[in-house]
Amino acid sequence: MGLRIVKLPDVGEGVAEAELVEWHVAVGQSVLEDQILAAVMTDKATVEIPSPVAGTVVALGAEVGGVLAVGAELVRLEVAGESSGEVAATPREAAAPAPKAEKPAAPAVPATPAATTRLPSTALPTTGAPIGPPRPAGEKPIASPAVRRRARDAGVDLRQVRGTGPAGRIGHDDLDAFLRGASAAVSSRARVANTAVETVKIVGLRRRIARKMAESKRRVAHFSYVEEVDVTALEELRARLNAANRPDRARLTLIPFLMQALVRAVADFPEMNALYDDEAETLERHAGVHIGIATQTPAGLMVPVVRHCEARGLWDCAAEVLRLAEAAREGKASRDELTGSTITITSLGPLGGIVTTPVVNRPEVAIIGVNRHAVRPVWQEGRFVPRTMMNLSSSFDHRVIDGYVAARFVQRLKALLESPATIFIEEA
């Protein structure tokens, strides 16, 4: 028997390290060639590392949540044959079908089997024991009297608790894990004071979100600007277009209109569609408008990017937003689809509130937040009229965007949205 060391392969351009988010194997387990060993996370995308050879796992290189450098030992395998050495694995990105047209030249090697896509949620740390009957019906759970008493006090049916002890015995730790993870399963018959404290390690996507948000808030000189927009006409237009009810087209939300308006507005305010490199102190103005759409997924906040909106029509934008949001929610979004935005829209949908304070998606310099729209009385021409009103809460990086410019930019957006025809008129 020989030993083989599987190293963390290069998982993407410029990525020097990756966070280990999930082990798919354990020490002592035999693995087949191509069997997934682990999932690592780079730049918001989960990448699965398959085993290059068959063997038995003798050591794991890191714990979940640990960060491994590219080239570091990932797994040590005992393999048949004498030779010992190192092998490189080929990463497999959990990728969605990329746009067909701009697909690079097909690789010479036979295509690997379709990557098994994984839900991001499974890459999150497990904080609780599984819920559901872990033992056959009618079988009494095995637990000491003290555990049984604690379970009773907490209103826990021990039949629902998985015992990790010998013969499936339920220990205090098992009960703790259950109480942490399955508080929903606790009977509500009686209310008891719950003094449980749970420490959850922030790993994976959530850690990236946390770091990125802190970084944005720490390094970007935020200021927000809120303006009221009359979207009565826009809503009418939207309703009319949706009424056509064409099955080949996505239903329009307000977002694609806002995207189209943004394309028009940033043409006049190119400093808004830009990336600020605060180390080099340069502002990178982009001709292409790549709009990030902040999206809530089961794993946490993701920002899929609709590229080249300046080249897309209304329906195209709508369809692409829909496709990317779905891919992000299912964890199928590729790294490319989650990076490269130049300006971001954030919307909480019907939860939109009155005013929000969006956090700039660094290194971008502007983010447009959509609040909830509602019919409100508006004083016009000496009387109140019902108008559909909506706030835009937008934040900017004050280091490179002046308040006056930001206000004018938002006024431009407001003008476009209030007279939606102007969004689509060439010379407006």
Interface segment toward another protein; rule CB under 8 A; list 150-158, 241-249, 284-292, 338-346: 150-158
- Between 169 and 372, CB nearer to another protein: 169
Q: Would you call 43 a catalytic residue per the annotation?
A: no
Minimum distance from CB of 196 to another protein (Å)? 17
Question: Does 143 engage in binding with another protein (CB under 8 A)?
Answer: yes
Interface segment toward another protein; rule CB under 8 A; list 162-170, 313-321, 405-413, 420-428: 162-170
Question: Does 127 engage in binding with another protein (CB under 8 A)?
Answer: no
Minimum distance from CB of 140 to another protein (Å)? 7
Q: Could you give the maximum distance between any two Cα atoms of the chain, in Å? A: 92
- Between 183 and 388, CB nearer to another protein: 183
Q: How far is CA 233 from the centre of its chain?
A: 33
Question: Does 101 engage in binding with another protein (CB under 8 A)?
Answer: no
Minimum distance from CB of 172 to another protein (Å)? 13
Q: Would you call 336 a catalytic residue per the annotation?
A: no
- Between 143 and 205, CB nearer to another protein: 143
Binding positions for another protein, 246-305, rule CB under 8 A: none
- Between 66 and 168, CB nearer to another protein: 168
Task: Choose which of 84, 144, 164, 357 interacts with another protein (CB under 8 A).
Answer: 144
Binding positions for another protein, 183-242, rule CB under 8 A: 190
Minimum distance from CB of 191 to another protein (Å)? 11
Minimum distance from CB of 89 to another protein (Å)? 38
* Residue 50: its H or E element: strand 45-50
Task: Choose which of 24, 135, 148, 219 interacts with another protein (CB under 8 A).
Answer: 148
Interface segment toward another protein; rule CB under 8 A; list 142-150, 321-329, 348-356, 367-375: 142-150
Catalytic position from the list 153, 173, 268, 402: 402
Question: Does 12 engage in binding with another protein (CB under 8 A)?
Answer: no
CB 369 within 8 A of CB 390: no
Interface segment toward another protein; rule CB under 8 A; list 12-20, 111-119, 151-159, 222-230: 151-159
- Between 140 and 218, CB nearer to another protein: 140
- Could you give the CA distance from residue 145 to residue 131 in angstroms, rounded to a whole number? 22
Minimum distance from CB of 378 to another protein (Å)? 59
- Between 137 and 190, CB nearer to another protein: 190
- Between 163 and 304, CB nearer to another protein: 163
Interface segment toward another protein; rule CB under 8 A; list 33-41, 165-173, 195-203, 381-389: 165-173
Question: Does 145 engage in binding with another protein (CB under 8 A)?
Answer: yes
- Could you give the CA distance from residue 213 to residue 109 in angstroms, rounded to a whole number? 40
SS in 3 state form for the chain?
Answer: CEEEEEECCCCCCCCCEEEEEEECCCCCCEECCCCEEEEEEECCEEEEEECCCCEEEEEECCCCCCEEECCCEEEEEEECCCCCEEEECCCEECCCCCCCCCCCCCCCCCCCCCCCCCCHHHHCCCCCCCCCCCCCCCCCCCECHHHHHHHHHCCCCHHHCCCCCHHHCECHHHHHHHHHHCHHHCCCCCCCCCCCCCCCCCCHHHHHHHHHHHHHHHHCCEEEEEEEEECHHHHHHHHHHHHCCCCCCCCCCHHHHHHHHHHHHHHHCHHHCEEEECCCCEEEECCCCCEEECEEECCEEECCEECCHHHCCHHHHHHHHHHHHHHHHCCCCCCHHHCCCCEEEEECHHHCCCCCCCCCCCCECEEEEEEEEEEEEEEECCEEEEEEEEEEEEEEECCCCCHHHHHHHHHHHHHHHHCCHHHHCCCC
Interface segment toward another protein; rule CB under 8 A; list 140-148, 236-244, 366-374, 388-396: 140-148
Task: Choose which of 71, 128, 155, 340 interacts with another protein (CB under 8 A).
Answer: 155
- Could you give the CA distance from residue 165 to residue 151 in angstroms, rounded to a whole number? 16
- Other CB atoms within a 10 A radius of the CB of residue 344 amount to 23
Which residues contribute to the site for another protein (CB under 8 A)? 140, 142-145, 148-149, 152-153, 155, 165-169, 190
What are the catalytic residues?
398, 402
